Structure 1
């Protein structure tokens, strides 16, 4: 481990399990003897430095305040990894990773400072073996959402992913989530309006005066809305990096993105809510390119966000494939469809 990084972890007061914690006393006849630990010994196989070694999919409770003061307890899937920087060593102290995750994550509120402390502790626990540490967490955040008109409310579950790393360049944290919304196709809306115009021209003689009551009645029939634009459920997958010491205010981020998009999906819906949603869609047609630029503007205007990457999917009702747009500030890589998958580790390393 680089001396600077090691001293930083020690200065934070991080501790590690005793060096012999894997060697519990055992009994052989009347004598106690240490349990064997083949992982810590040198090996004769061709050696090499390993990018990441650890545990993934650990089931762990976490406590997270997303910015509204509500400290929620969630069931998370946790990954813990360090590099194996010593090519002659067969393996790391794997169980120490799990015990440290339990110590840090199961009872303490989750924030950037806690994760940096956890990563320091992981490195200290692998002293002489590792120079970098990484953790990933995936869980759902429940948020109460009000209906558009009726006064009812319901729950939305927003997926949350956190990826934190500690290396010679310092501490890095990436926060991810998804916003689901409705997108009405502007081209389809224009084509539908043209068909309605044509139907109107067919049903009303241009040489005859129009009667208000007749037109009003016609607009309330199926002939008055002979075509409707297609809309689809759409998803914006966001990954952001906050400025140092900025709180992980996830709800504020979601609120601003949903406001920019204009048509987030709803929870409790009565007829007046559905009508309001139809009005919002009619006034808000957008291509995936439009949606990407709206989110880009919102994130660029936020001084607490130093970097971001967004991937949008308009899951077409016209086509069997999706329309996709991506926008970023400077972050490289991709926002994966499932950030909790095991393959994410290799993709983001």
Structure 2
């Protein structure tokens, strides 16, 4: 049968990325407490395409992912990228995994257990001038903040709200998602929980009001902890506060190269 994809392109222009998006598959990730965790991922997969070719072979991308049944780590992700690049005879290959990561979290007073879900993304790329793949790990962590200004000027109350701390990092070796969650929560007024009894609500509220924080405070606190993490080479931390008394969000961001 005719291989239409390999015929000359009408517009001879290189394509940086072409592939498939939103493939779903079971995924095994490393869990700090239990060793492994089973979750479900949405996956984008692709490669570059030279100007000489009309199209890429999309089915080969699906085949590569179907043949890949491993725990998500450096070695396995590199093998997937190398396989994609080889199947498509490409110079570069990339993959993005988006998945929920679950952590059991005990309420602060009653110790009642509940599951928290954190939205995670892992991006991997290989090609160019090096055979060494590059990875970008991201996690969104919901937290609670209490406004220091409101607390200072009001006699009986202060406004509080949920904020999202988004951490993105490049690293050497391995970085636990649990460590990034801990960094985000430690910079906020208080963590949030999936299950709270009355005693727990009291404890969380008192903790938050004892630690008021602007988005500027949260982003600086998280950045300081990321800067001192031994495995992180580069990070970007963003805090988006879903303001409870304003018709807008408050936002702050820091990006830094820790070690080249």
Task: Give the alignment's TM-score, normalised by structure 2.
Answer: 0.94
- For 2:191, what is the secondary structure of its paired residue? coil
Quote the offset at 1:61 in angstroms.
1.2
User: Could you tell me which residue of structure 2 aligns to residue 125 of structure 1?
Assistant: 87
Cα distance change on mapping 1:185 and 1:262 into 2, 3 Å: closer
Q: Which moved more, 1:93-102 or 1:257-266?
A: 257-266
Question: Does 1:137 find its partner at 2:97?
Answer: yes
The answer as to whether partners of 2:189 and 2:209 remain within 8 angstroms in 1 is: no
The superposition leaves residues 298-337 of structure 1 with CA deviations (integer Å, 9 ceiling, x where unpaired) of 1011011111101101111111101100011139xxxxxx
1 CA distance for matches of 2:184 and 2:242? 19
Question: Does 1:230 find its partner at 2:159?
Answer: yes
Partner of residue 53 from structure 2, selected from 89, 95, 100: 89
The answer as to whether partners of 1:66 and 1:248 remain within 8 angstroms in 2 is: no
Q: How many residues align?
A: 256
2 CA distance for matches of 1:284 and 1:262? 5
2 CA distance for matches of 1:78 and 1:325? 29
The answer as to whether partners of 1:153 and 1:268 remain within 8 angstroms in 2 is: yes
Quote the offset at 1:92 in angstroms.
1.5
The answer as to whether partners of 2:146 and 2:189 remain within 8 angstroms in 1 is: no
Structure 2: where are the runs of 5+ without partners?
none
Q: Map of 1:1-349 to 2, 5 A cutoff?
A: 35-43=1-9, 45-85=10-50, 87-104=51-68, 107-127=69-89, 130-168=90-128, 169=130, 170-193=132-155, 227-243=156-172, 246-330=173-257
2 CA distance for matches of 1:62 and 1:119? 16
Bigger strand fraction: 2
2 CA distance for matches of 1:310 and 1:252? 14
1 CA distance for matches of 2:206 and 2:18? 52
2 CA distance for matches of 1:295 and 1:47? 46
The superposition leaves residues 28-78 of structure 1 with CA deviations (integer Å, 9 ceiling, x where unpaired) of xxxxxxx333112224x1211001010011111111113333312211110
Bigger helix fraction: 1
User: Could you tell me which residue of structure 2 aligns to residue 204 of structure 1?
Assistant: none
Quote the offset at 1:262 in angstroms.
4.6
Structure 1: where are the runs of 5+ without partners?
1-34, 194-226, 332-349
2 CA distance for matches of 1:108 and 1:301? 31
Aligned-pair Cα RMSD in Å: 1.4
